[in-house]
A and B are shown apart, each in its own frame.
Chain A
Amino acid sequence: MSQLAMVIDLNRCVGCHACAIACRAEWSVPVPYRRNWVKRLGPETTPKGLAFTFYPGLCNHCDDPKCTSVCPVDPEEKVFTSKDGKTKKVSVRATYKDPFTGAVLIDKERCIGCGSCVEACPYGARYLNEELDDPKADKCTFCVERLAHNLEPACVRTCISGARIFGDLSDKNSQVYKIVSSGKAVRLQSKEVSIGPNVYYVGKDRDVLLLQKICTPHERRWENVMAPVRRGILKAAIRKLAKAV
C-alpha cells in the first residue's frame, strides 16, 4: 500500500522558516494557526556535544492516526480512487486516512468543527479555524491537491536548502524509501505515543538527540478527548441547525 512520507534532513535545514510561510500562503492559513512550523532548539548540551537545530514539524499522516478515530461525525461510505484508477469504498468519518496515499485528510463539508481531532493529535498538528464563520478543523494535507497537478508540496517547493524530501514509501526507487529503509531516519515517537508518524528526521547524533528530547510526544492526548459527551452536544447543535435552515 502507498504511504506518502517526508524525510527532513537536519544537516541541510538552516531553520529559515520558508516552509512555514509558503504553506501559510498556499492554503491561506490565518495567523496564528499553522499547518506546519519550525521550532528553534538550543543551543543546548547533549551527550553528543552542543546542539543547535530545528524542529520543522507538520502532520505526520500516521499509520495509526488517532485523530480520525475520535471524530464524532457518523461514518459514511466514501469511494477513493487511486492514481491508476482503482477504486475502494471505505466507511469514514469527517477525517480519515486515504487508503491509496496514506494521507490523513479532512472532509470540510462534513466536519462539524467540534475540535475533537485537534485535541487528540499528540503532535499538535491540527487547528480549529475559528476565523471561519463556520469553524472547521484544518491541517497539512501533504498538498495532495498540488500532487494531483504534478506539483510538489508547497513547503518542499520553497525549501531553500533542499532539506525536505518527499515521496511514496512503497516506491522502492524513491529517496524517502531509500533513506527510511537505511535505518538512519528517526520518527518522533515514544513508548506512550507510538502511532507510526510518517515524517522522519535525519541529522547529526547531537541534533537528533536534542530533537527527540524536546519534541517527542509522551501524552496520549486522544484518550482525553471526551467524545461521547461532546458527540451528544454536537448532535444537538446539528439538529438545531437543521431546523433553523
Chain B
Amino acid sequence: MRRRNFLKLSASACAALAALRLGDKDVFRPAQAKTALATPKLPGSLGAKEITSVCEMCFWRCPIVGKVKNGRLVKIEGNPNSPANGTRICARGNSGIQLLYDPDRIKYPLKRTGARGEGKWARISWDEALDEVAHNLKEIKKKYGPHALAFFDHGASAEFMRDIFKTLGTENYTNEPAFFQCVGPAALAYLKTYGYVTSGTRQYVDMKNAKAMLFIGTHIGENVHVSHVKEFIEGLQNGAKLVVVDPRYSAAAAKADVYLPIRPGTDTALLLAWMNFIITEGLYNKEFVEKHCTGFDELKKAVKGYTLQWASPICDLPVKDMKRAILLIADNSPHVSIHPGRHSTWYGRGDTGRHQALAIMAALFGAVGVKGGLYFPTPIKKGHPDFGCAEEEPDTPAKSISEDYYPFASTFGSPTSKIIEATITGKPYPVKLWGINGVNIIQTISNPYHTMKAIKKLDFVFCEEILPTETAIWSDIVLPGATYLERYDAVYTFDLMTPYLTVRQPVVAPMFEVRSSFWIARELAKRIGLECFNYNNEVEFIEEELKGAGLSLKELNKKGGIISYKANPYRSSKEFKVATEDGKVQLAVEDFADEDLDPIPKFIPTPAPPKGYVRLVYGRSPVHTFSRTMNNKWLHNEVPENHLWLNEKVAELTGIKDGEEVILENQDGYRSWPIKVKVTPGIRPDTAYMIHGFGSRSKQLSKAYKQGASDQFMVTEYEDDPFMGASSHRTNFIRIVRAGKVINLPELCPPPKDIPRFIPKKNRTGGK
C-alpha cells in the first residue's frame, strides 16, 4: 500500500494497519537511509565536473553543459557562455539524462531472427554486424546497380553514413524526412525568392526586434527551440503585436492580439487577398519593391482578383478581422516578422505556394534585412576536412526518381514517397536495400502502411538506432548508436542573431557496446573497400575544422567550449542584395515558370472533409520531439499520451465527453489506437487535433508503447508537392468510434462551393 493512501484511512483502521506494519521488519530501514542522507558533500548538481557540448534532443542544437558526479551524468544545463540560450534549456534538453540511461536502449549489435516487424533479435558481434551490412551493400549494388540502395537520414551523425551511400553512387543518398515530410516546401519557396534557405533547419526572422509578428500555423511555445522561443517572448515583451492564423487556439494564439481561426487549407487564399489589399491600398513599401524586387507588376496582376470579400467565405473569417490583422502588420512595417514557418508539408499541392506567398508578403512590407524582419545569416569561418570519399563516376539512372518527377526535388535528394513507390513496384528501377540513420521512418513518413509494405519487399534493411523504435524492429541488422552525450560529432556554427561556434563532445563514455556514428561509418567503409574517412577518429577532423577558425579543441574548451561572434543580419538600402541571379527578391519565380509551375502562387483549394468527418491536424508538445522522446522516463511523466482536441459544439451534439476514450477511423477505414478526447472551444468544428509522435507500435519501448494514438497511422491519403515532391500530412479526415459504434461528426462549417469535397479512393474514377 502506498503511504499516502494509508494515511487517508479512518483512525481505527489506520491504527490497526499501522500495527500490522510495525510488525513488518521492512518498516525499519535505518541503516541505508542514513547513508543516503550522508552523501554527497555538496547537494544536487553542485560541485559536479562540467563538460560543454551540444544538445540533440531536437535539432536546434543548443549549447549545453553536462554535469558529472562519480562518472554519472546528473544534470544538463545550458552553456552559460552561449549567446543564444545561456543557461536555459528546454524540458527535453534537461531530460537527455534519461535517453542516456534508458533501460530500453539498444545495447549491442542485433540481428533479426523473427519476421520483419516482429522485434525478435539475436545479439551478434560488431564484426558480424558490419560484415553483413557491408556484404549486402556490395552484393545488391553489383546485382541491381547503385540506385537500388537508398538511405533515410536525419541529424548530424547520419552524415558520415550518408557519405558511404553517396560514394557507392546511388542518387538516393539523401532522402531526409526532415525535408520531404517537413520543411521542404518552405525551404524551396524561400530559396527561390531570396536565394537562401530562410526557413530550413533555422528560421532567420528577427522576432526580438519586431513591432508586429504574423504566424500562419506556427505554434512557437508548443514547438520549442530555445533561442527562437526566447526571441519571440522578448519581442512580445518589447510590445510587439501578434497575429496568429490557426484553426486551433495554440499556445502562440493565446498570446495573440488578433487570432484568426481559419478554415484549414485556405491560408493561401488569405495571403493572396492580403497581398491584393496592401497593393491596392498602397500599404506596401514602394521604395523597397522598386529598388530590390523583380516581378512586382506580374504579382499585382496575378493577385488582382483576390479580394477580402472573396476570401471571407473561403477562409471562414469575417472581412473586418482579416482587415484588422493586416492593418496591424502594415502599421508596424517594415519592422515586422512575417514568420516563414517550418513544417510545411500540409496539403501537397499549394504547399510551396503558401510559403512563397509568405516570402513575398515580407518583401512587400520591406521586412527584409531590417530590424524585426527576415535577416541574413552571419557565416562563420571554419575548416573543411577532406574525408577523401572518392565518388565513383555517377551513373545517372535512365529515369531519376528525383528530378524526373519533381523539378526541384534534387535540391534536397530523392522524395521519400518515390523511393517507397519504387521499392514496392520496382519502377522506374528496383530499390532493394535501405539504410536508416537517426529517423523513425514508420512514424514519420505519410502512409506507414506503404512504408511497411515496401520494407517487406526489400532484400536487406539496416539501421543505426539508439532505441528499439518501429524502424529498428523492422530492420534486419540494428547497429547500436551512441547518444549525443557519448560521442564527438563535428564543429557546429550558429549563424543567427547570436552567432557562435561550438563542438559536441562526449560528456560520459559510451555505454554498453554502442559506438559513435563516425566509427560505424568508418568501419563500414573499410569493409566495403571504399576509400573514405581519412581520419582515425573524430578529434582529428574536429581539430582540422577548428584550425580553420584559428582554434584548437584545447583552446576552445579553455574558453568555455564556445566562441561568440558579432552578427551581421541587417542591410542598408544601399548594401541590400540577395543571392538570386539578379540580386533582387523574386516576387515571381522564373525558375518555377520554366518548369511549367506557377511563378506566383495561386489559390488551390484542398478538398474539404467528407460528410461525417473532420480534418485531422497535428502539432508539437513542448516536451516531445517527433516520436523520439516518448519513451523518456521524465518526459513521459510530463506528457505520457496525446489527446484528441474536439470542438465543444461537436462534442455536445454527439454526446462525446471530455476525457472519454475513443477510437478514430479515417476516410480509408483505418482505425487508430484508443485516445482520450479533450473537449474544448479552442478548435474549429471542422478540425480535430492531436500531438504528433504518440501511439508507438514497438513493444520494446516499454513506456511509449500504445500510449495515445499515432497521427501518422491516420495519414494514409497524401499527395506530393508538385515542386519538390514532399508528401502532404493534413489531407486526412477522421470520425469517431465509441464502444464499437461509428459516430459521424456534424458539419458545422460547411465549405463554400469553391472548395470541392474530398472523394474517397474507392469512389474515384481515373487518376490515382
Contact = CB atoms under 8 A, between A and B. Distances in A.
A21 interface: yes
Interface in B526-563: none
A159 B45 contact: no
B233 A162 contact: yes
Interface string A29-65: 0011000001000111100001111000000000000
11 contacts: A14-B222, A17-B639, A52-B253, A115-B3, A115-B6, A130-B2, A133-B36, A158-B78, A159-B88, A160-B229, A245-B30
Contacts of B639: 17
A160 B28 contact: no
Contacts of B91: 16-18, 20-21
A77 interface: no
Interface in B190-224: 220-222, 224
B593 interface: no
Given A114-B7, A161-B230, A163-B233, 11 more contacts: A14-B229, A16-B229, A16-B622, A18-B94, A24-B634, A25-B634, A113-B3, A133-B29, A134-B36, A136-B33, A159-B88
A43 B88 CA distance: 27
B494 interface: no
B371 interface: no
A21 B78 contact: no
B407 to A, nearest CB: 39
A118 interface: yes
Contacts of A118: 4, 7
A25 B45 contact: yes
A233 B12 CA distance: 11
Contacts of A108: 37
A44 B45 CA distance: 39
A20 B639 CA distance: 12
Contacts of A17: 90-91, 622-623, 638-639
B637 interface: yes
Contacts of B45: 25-26, 154
Interface in A105-150: 108-109, 113-116, 118-119, 128, 130, 132-136, 143, 145-146, 149
Interface in A212-245: 226, 229-230, 233, 236-237, 240-241, 244-245
A207 interface: yes
A27 interface: yes
Interface in A150-177: 151, 154, 157-163
Contact of B90 (A18, A151, A207): A18
Contacts of A28: 74
Contacts of B74: 25, 28
Nearest to B43: A145
A44 B678 CA distance: 11
A48 B641 CA distance: 30
Contacts of B11: 226, 229
Interface in B414-440: none
Interface in B85-122: 85, 87-91, 93-95, 97
Given A130-B3, A145-B44, A52 B249 contact: yes
B681 A45 contact: yes
A87 interface: no
Contacts, number: 184
Contacts of A241: 28, 30
A19 B295 CA distance: 49
8 closest cross-chain pairs (CB), A and B: A43-B682, A134-B33, A14-B221, A133-B29, A52-B254, A21-B94, A17-B91, A16-B622
Contacts of A21: 91, 94-95, 623, 634-635, 638
B572 interface: no
Interface string A58-80: 00000000000000000000000
Contact of B22 (A27, A109, A237): A237
Contacts of A81: none
A38 B192 CA distance: 42
B676 interface: no
A63 B253 CA distance: 36
A38 B622 CA distance: 12
Of A31, A130, A133, the most chain B CB neighbours within 10 A belong to A133
B32 interface: yes
Nearest to B683: A43
A119 B8 CA distance: 9
Nearest to B253: A52
B633 interface: yes
Contacts of A244: 28
Contacts of B511: none
Given A16-B224, A113-B3, A134 B94 contact: no
B759 interface: no
Interface string B622-655: 1100000000011101110000000000000000
Nearest to A144: B43
A214 to B, nearest CB: 13
Given A24-B634, A25-B76, A154-B44, A229 B233 contact: no
Contacts of A38: 638
B236 interface: yes
Contacts of B90: 16-18, 160
Contact of B251 (A15, A115, A119, A163): A15
A11 interface: yes
Contacts of A207: 254
Contacts of A146: 44, 46
B15 interface: yes
B460 to A, nearest CB: 39
Contacts of B221: 14-16
A161 B43 contact: no
A12 interface: yes
A150 B77 CA distance: 16
A161 B233 contact: yes
B62 to A, nearest CB: 9
Nearest to A27: B44
A158 B251 contact: no
B285 interface: no
A195 interface: no
Given A15-B622, A21-B95, A50-B682, A229 B638 contact: no
Given A43-B680, A161-B229, A229-B11, A135 B88 contact: no
A22 interface: yes
Contacts of A130: 2-3
Nearest to B623: A17
A236 B23 CA distance: 12
A159 B233 CA distance: 12
Contacts of B224: 14, 16, 160
Contacts of B4: 115, 118-119, 128
B633 A31 contact: yes
B60 to A, nearest CB: 11
Interface in B490-529: none
Contacts of B222: 14-15
B1 to A, nearest CB: 10
A226 B95 CA distance: 39
Given A157-B87, A160-B90, A241-B30, A11 B236 contact: yes
A53 B75 contact: no
Contacts of A143: 44
A11 B255 contact: yes
B288 to A, nearest CB: 32
Nearest to A52: B254
Contacts of B6: 115
A18 B255 contact: no
A244 B25 CA distance: 10
A230 B12 CA distance: 10
A39 to B, nearest CB: 11
B7 A119 contact: yes
A243 B163 CA distance: 70
Nearest to A241: B28
Interface in B1-54: 2-4, 6-8, 11, 14-15, 18, 22, 27-30, 32-33, 36-37, 43-46
A18 B89 contact: yes
